[in-house]
């Protein structure tokens, strides 16, 4: 027998052992669909970027969403070079006019289609642009306590704010204390839904912005904080967004141009109810 054959068999055995490792609790269920394929795992771990490098990579793809009166509604992240923006549904729900401001100060009007999933509090709007800077969607499967994360957004209207922290936990809604669990289930969450708890400081205006890993890949969408605690913030795992990105808009939900105001008119069904212990930011 050729000495080459045992070497091949040994290589296959080692590869099978490596690929079989890593059976850990996941930060979300894997979702299928043509949009937002998870970043493939590399055989060699990539060198982490510094916070400065992460900021330089992420900031051009984060937008600030403004209402007619210039109040900041929240943040969003470009995930497609054609202008698809992922944000939180509660950021844009019930708002008539929205403009998106890029980090270079330029403004874009919004256009359809619009998709949303109230159950996971995610929505998609689209900018009138092309060749736009966008971020890669990471894979929130395998997000673990202790890993470094960076949040980018516009807290209190302060555009391009970058904060860093760690993942505190990945929690099922059913494992939350009763008052928080009840608040989340009233909003539409199921007990089996997962949220990423993290410590990077955020405030109202951050909601809808990205939570990224040390490669600058989006692993979550910033969504809420705990009112009665410090450094207790939550993000929606990015794998939950893949279905929203692939959705077709409902017939009665679209963005049309209001020529008299020179702004796009965004029609949404208003969000019903408010969370009492949880602050949507």
* CA 278 to each of CA 191, 225, 232, 281: distance values in angstroms, whole numbers, following the listed order: 16, 6, 10, 9
Q: Which two tokens stand for residue 214?
A: 């040390």
Buried b (16+ CB within 10 A) or exposed e, 200-217: bbbbbbbbbbbbbbbbbb
Joined tokens for residue 107: 């403004």
Of the listed 90, 139, 154, 217, which one is catalytic?
A: 90
Catalytic residue among 93, 121, 139, 225: 121
The reply to whether 90 belongs to the active site is yes
Name the burial class of residue 262, with classes exposed (0-12), middle (13-18) and buried (19+) by CB atoms within 10 angstroms of its CB: exposed
Q: CA gyration radius for the chain?
A: 20
β strands within the chain, DSSP E: 62-66, 72-78, 84-87, 99-101, 107-117, 122-127, 148-153, 161-172, 194-198, 210-212, 218-226, 233-237, 255-258, 263-266, 278-280
| Catalytic pick among 61, 75, 207, 225 | 207
Which residue, chain included where needed, has tokens 């673990």? 144
- Whether 207 is catalytic is yes
Alpha-carbon distances of 155 from 53, 103, 117, 204, rounded to whole Å: 21, 14, 24, 5
230 belongs to the catalytic site: no
Q: Which residues are catalytic?
A: 90, 121, 207
């Amino acid at each position: 027998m050729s000495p080459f054959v045992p070497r091949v068999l040994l290589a296959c055995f080692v590869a099978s052992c490596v690929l079989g490792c890593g059976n850990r609790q996941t930060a979300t269920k894997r979702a299928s669909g043509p949009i937002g394929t998870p970043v493939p795992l590399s055989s060699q771990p990539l060198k982490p970027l510094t916070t400065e490098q992460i900021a330089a990579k992420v900031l051009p793809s984060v937008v600030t969403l403004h209402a007619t009166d210039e109040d900041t509604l929240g943040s969003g992240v470009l995930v497609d070079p054609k202008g698809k923006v992922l944000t939180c549904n509660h950021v844009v729900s019930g708002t008539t006019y929205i403009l998106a401001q890029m980090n270079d100060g330029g403004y874009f009007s919004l256009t359809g289609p619009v998709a949303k999933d109230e159950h996971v509090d995610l929505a998609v709007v689209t900018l009138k642009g092309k060749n736009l800077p966008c971020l890669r969607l990471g894979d929130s499967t395998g997000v673990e306590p202790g890993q470094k994360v960076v949040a980018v957004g516009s807290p209190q209207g302060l555009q391009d704010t970058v904060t860093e922290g760690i993942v505190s936990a990945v929690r099922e809604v059913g494992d939350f204390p009763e008052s928080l669990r009840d608040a989340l289930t009233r909003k539409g969450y199921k007990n089996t839904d997962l949220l990423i708890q993290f410590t990077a400081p955020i405030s109202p205006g951050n909601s809808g912005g990205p939570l990224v890993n040390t490669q600058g890949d989006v692993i979550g969408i910033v969504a809420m904080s705990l009112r009665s605690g410090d450094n207790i913030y939550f993000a929606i795992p990015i794998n939950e967004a893949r279905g929203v990105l692939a959705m077709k808009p409902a017939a009665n939900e679209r963005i049309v141009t209001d020529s008299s105001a020179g702004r796009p008119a965004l029609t949404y069904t208003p969000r019903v109810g408010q969370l009492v212990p949880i602050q949507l930011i």
